[in-house]
Chains A and B, each alone.
Chain A
Amino acid sequence: MKYPDFNQTVPIDHVGVEERVSRLNKRSIKKESKIQALKMALSMIDLTTLEGKDSPGKVMQLCQKAKHPHPSIPDLPTVAAVCVYPSMVRIAKKALKGTDIHVASVATAFPSGQAPLSMRLEDVRFAVAEGADEVDMVISRGAFLEGDYHRVFDEIAAVKEACDEAHLKVILETGELHTYENVRKASDIAMHAGADFIKTSTGKMSPAATQPVTLVMLEAIRDFHYATGKMIGMKPAGGIRTAKQAIQYLVIVKETLGAAWLTNKYFRFGASSLTNDLLMQIVKQETGNYQSLDYFSAD
């Protein structure tokens, strides 16, 4: 594969990106297409808990929610994965045994990535050994902003190797990269270095995922696909709380990359509270009424 010169910048016009997103937001999704979108979004969720106070009990509750999002509605899809810290991978793996739900683990000294590479790699190997199907790593934003793109590239490649069979999601933490051009460059570096997915944010800072940033990353994925034929996945994470936002993201994916990406193999939402809003909307579509949040499990 031919590697681009990462010192060259792919120009991005921020006015144009934001206008495109606002035009896509004008799509009106009603009736059957709305129900289909809500279920599709549910199936794309990486149900996430990443807190210092996480305990085995909390993780098990989350796994139960992942398996049975809302038992009173038949034929609901399950979420795509449960996303936890490495120390909780074994517990989640056990709780999800016998299902298709993946266990994703953040690693590489998440969320800052401020640890020596050897320790970050050890973090990855531990998570994989515990049974993680997917690893969500963070890039070295400091190195990136210094212009040390090769270091960023080499570290991602090293993590990819440490992942072995596990899928690698590369978190760019776009809120710290500041410009769309940087987002584009970090996306290109990650994809060339071996990412299976590129992901916007850790969810630990604001701004987290935004739609314009997501569009820029999807366009990077599209160019990578045009050049190599490979399909890279996309995961916006953080700040996506409502069904309406989720549907807007799906519209952006559909009209940027087409049908092939509209599956949880290539698109995920990193979210937790989104789940119940999707469920509420699905119930509303099926019964015609909104139900109280008391009817939706809070896990």
Chain B
Amino acid sequence: MSNTTETKNAPYKPTSPNSKLDFESVWEYAPAPQSSDFVDIKEQYDLYIGGKFVKPSKGRYFKSTNPATEEVITEFAEATQKDVDKAVKTARKAFEGEWSQISAKERGKYMYRIARLLQERAREFAVLESMDGGKPIRESRDIDIPLVAAYFFYYAGWADKLEYAFPGKKPKPLGVCGQIIPWNFPLLMLSWKIAPALACGNTVVLKPAETTSLTALKFAELVKDAGVPDGVVNIITGAGQTGAELVNHKDVNKIAFTGSTSVGKIIQKSLAGTDKKYTLELGGKGALIIFEDAPIDQAVEGIINAIYFNQGHVCCAGSRLLVQEGVADKVINKLKDRLETLIVGDPLDKNTDIGAINSKEQFETINKYLELGVDEGADVYQSKCKVPENGYFIRPTLFTNVSQSNRVVQEEIFGPVLTVQTFRTADEAIEKANNTPYGLASGIWTDKGSKIFQMGSGMRSGVVWANTFNKFDPTSPFGGYKESGVGREGGLHGLAAYTKI
């Protein structure tokens, strides 16, 4: 090992010429837009408290734009301290009243009903998710919405079996749960929060992200239609200040937060010294480790799924590629060719692979990192694809000639930007993969099973995917090491986080 350490961090530069393949096609795909005529978006949405849509106490609203067109699509109410207090009191009343009298089996029934109602309106939710958040319809239709239903179905099944989930214990609900979710998977993150909370008999006050509140408010309609007692689910909208009011409210028993590590740290500080339970699911800078013996074409596809899924707005994205030196040129060249076939554009077009960046703010953040990478001396490669003139779009990007000390390698960019480094030995790969304050998810590609287990046990990473990436399942716990979070969501672990046992 010692003789390899000297040049371990030397930046890697690919040497092969660019590919000879030509994707400037003689056959272009015509636009194939998903119809959005059938969805109904109101001009203004109020807060959902106690089973009713109510006006915000200060009467303030903020605009929500479609990031693909920069057009305002609706307005959401801004919940202030008084509204948050009202929502928490309503949730408390429901928790101590009707909800606690309902049998576990009935609780499960409400959840099954929510899941089925969602499936019936799946296409509508998919379209709204894409319009409000910018993600391609292929993903919202085939991944987000089916997973939301799956999480509700899964946790519905546990509602009357909690004593079997935790044998020998008498699990009790925690009470009122304050839940704050991010803008990258709006409805999916809602399901990760609300489904286990309801299964265990809690009531919730949920605040969606300010840029993507639409599907959460539409979800309130499902809750109403399912006949869930008033006050069990409350949805309040607003920005960071609203979230802070919720976190600091005295009568909340648990805070569940998914979002950035910097906000997570503030929440953790403000919860210190209280008896509130909390789970935090924060940022990441996941490594993708590709060995020489990997199935290369499938590994390249894995990279695409790891970093260009949902515009790279994925906390568990694989944003650092670590490739073994012997296959580095090959992988990089194949990756560049593959980038040329990614279609960037209208999120509602069924052929779009990469949609719009969620907000102007995030668009500027990513662009800042693109400039920073170049300033730091990295080589940048972007696909030549067309991008729409309006809206926030960024071409899929690769940075080569970078090392551990580059900021683009260290910091979470949360965009379609991949950095590429090389390694020679498995130990070196583990060292580089772990050399980050984060530890949420990573991936390994090799044809050798034993290597997967050897690597997996050395990685400080909440999830390690082998020969695949970004696969989600309600039965599987998800969460981070180090600054990527506290606690787990999903599976039995996710259930335990909403019970007193």
Contact = CB atoms under 8 A, between A and B. Distances in A.
Interface string A1-20: 00000000011110111011
Q: Is the interface of A mostly helix, strand, loop or mixed?
A: helix
A258 B301 contact: no
B333 A226 contact: yes
A31 B301 CA distance: 29
A255 B341 contact: yes
A262 B25 contact: yes
A53 interface: no
A151 interface: no
A26 B351 CA distance: 8
A222 B21 contact: yes
Contact of A259 (B23, B32, B299, B447): B23
A258 B447 contact: no
B294 A11 contact: yes
Given A13-B467, A219-B297, A255-B341, A229 B29 contact: no
Interface string B278-309: 00000000000000011101110110000000
A81 interface: no
Interface stretch (A33-41, A99-107, A162-170, A194-202): A33-41
A16 B468 contact: yes
A37 B20 contact: no
Given A12-B295, A16-B295, A30 B26 contact: no
B28 A11 contact: no
Nearest to A31: B30
Contacts of A254: 23, 25, 27
B21 A257 contact: yes
Given A11-B295, A13-B295, A16-B302, A33 B467 contact: no
A219 B19 CA distance: 14
A12 B297 CA distance: 8
Given A26-B142, A222-B21, A259 B350 contact: no
A5 B138 CA distance: 41
B467 A15 contact: yes
Interface in B14-70: 19-32
A33 B27 contact: yes
B20 A225 contact: yes
B467 A226 contact: no
Nearest to B16: A226
A118 interface: no
Nearest to B467: A13
Among A30, A36, A37, A262, residue most surrounded by chain B Cβ atoms (within 10 Å): A30
11 contacts: A13-B467, A17-B297, A19-B301, A30-B31, A33-B27, A219-B297, A254-B25, A255-B23, A259-B23, A259-B26, A262-B25
Interface pairs A-B: 7 shortest CB-CB: A16-B298, A28-B32, A11-B447, A28-B350, A13-B295, A13-B298, A33-B30
